[in-house]
């Protein structure tokens, strides 16, 4: 009650604001919108990568196939053992020119367990290898295949093999040089049967794949030279 002659008491309006539930809803909407934008950007980048790969293949007379569920089951070591054969997506196939003649080659996005894990490239060796060998950078995980044993360092990599006696003669200075040249983005490089294979990160450009295929062809050549030297008659 105001005293006579005094100013009436001030009346303040009730504080107006958003409830915690409304702020939570706004945060959820912003989070969902951000995730959706990120997915759209990733899809655009993936679509652009596929278009570039198809264009690269067409310029060189290579074949393109959207999906091949059978091809990866041709191999069993490397990332095939780690995550299963999976599916080859956005597969390009053709010949890599070399001084020793063209070599059959593949490159594809490797999908394992329903998601793409890496880009896998493979180049054919002109001779059957006597055993399998994996050349892993120190940053790569140790293989969990009981059939592989650590042999020795090979340049910047460590060799894991299925037969030490069969592979040791092939670990020549030329192979060391060729494997070192493959690049630091290739943690895992391996050879089995009549193929040399390697993986690079998803989204690798066609130019990077072209360089990788050429490097794998040189690794294949080094293995072939080792095979011929090992089987050359002694005087």
Tens-place pLDDT, residues 19-75: 777 767 777 777 766 654 544 344 444 456 899 999 999 999 999 999 999 999 999
* Cα 32–chain centre separation: 29
Give CA–CA dist 160/132, Å, rounded.
Answer: 8
- Say if strands 188-192 and 195-200 run parallel, antiparallel, or are unpaired: antiparallel
Which residues 6+ apart lie within 8 Å of 56 measured at CB?
Answer: 62, 92, 206, 209, 210
Global pTM exceeds 0.75? yes
Q: What is the pLDDT of residue 42?
A: 44
Which residues 6+ apart lie within 8 Å of 101 measured at CB?
Answer: 126
Q: How far is CA 85 from CA 68, 113, 122, 228, in A?
A: 11, 9, 14, 31
H/E element holding 27? helix 20-59
Which residues 6+ apart lie within 8 Å of 231 measured at CB?
Answer: none
Q: What is the pLDDT of residue 27?
A: 74
- The 10 Å Cβ neighbour count of residue 189 is 27
Average pLDDT, the chain: 88
- The 10 Å Cβ neighbour count of residue 89 is 16
**Domain map of the chain by residue range?**
62-230
For the chain, which ranges sit under pLDDT 70?
1-18, 23, 32-48, 232-235
């Amino acid at each position: 009650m105001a005293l006579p002659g005094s100013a009436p008491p001030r009346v303040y309006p009730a504080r107006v604001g958003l409830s915690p539930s409304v702020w939570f809803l706004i945060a959820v909407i912003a989070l969902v919108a951000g995730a959706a934008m990120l997915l759209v950007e990733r899809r655009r980048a993936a679509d652009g990568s596929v278009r570039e790969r198809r264009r690269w293949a067409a310029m060189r007379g290579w074949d393109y196939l959207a999906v091949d569920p059978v091809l990866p089951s041709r191999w069993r070591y490397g990332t095939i053992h780690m995550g299963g054969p999976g599916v080859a997506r956005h597969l390009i196939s053709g010949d890599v020119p070399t001084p020793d003649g063209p070599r059959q080659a593949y490159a594809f996005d490797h999908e394992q367990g329903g998601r793409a894990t890496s880009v896998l490239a493979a180049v054919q060796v002109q001779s059957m290898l006597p055993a399998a060998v994996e050349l892993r950078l120190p940053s790569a995980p140790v293989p969990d295949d009981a059939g592989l044993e650590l042999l020795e360092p090979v340049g910047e990599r460590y060799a894991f093999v299925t037969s030490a006696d069969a592979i040791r003669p092939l670990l020549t200075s030329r192979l060391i040089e060729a494997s070192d040249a493959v690049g630091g983005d290739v943690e895992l490089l391996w050879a089995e049967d009549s193929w040399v294979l390697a993986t690079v990160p998803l989204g690798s450009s066609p130019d990077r794949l072209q360089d990788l295929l050429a490097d794998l062809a040189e690794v294949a050549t080094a293995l072939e030279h080792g095979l011929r030297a090992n089987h050359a008659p002694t005087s």
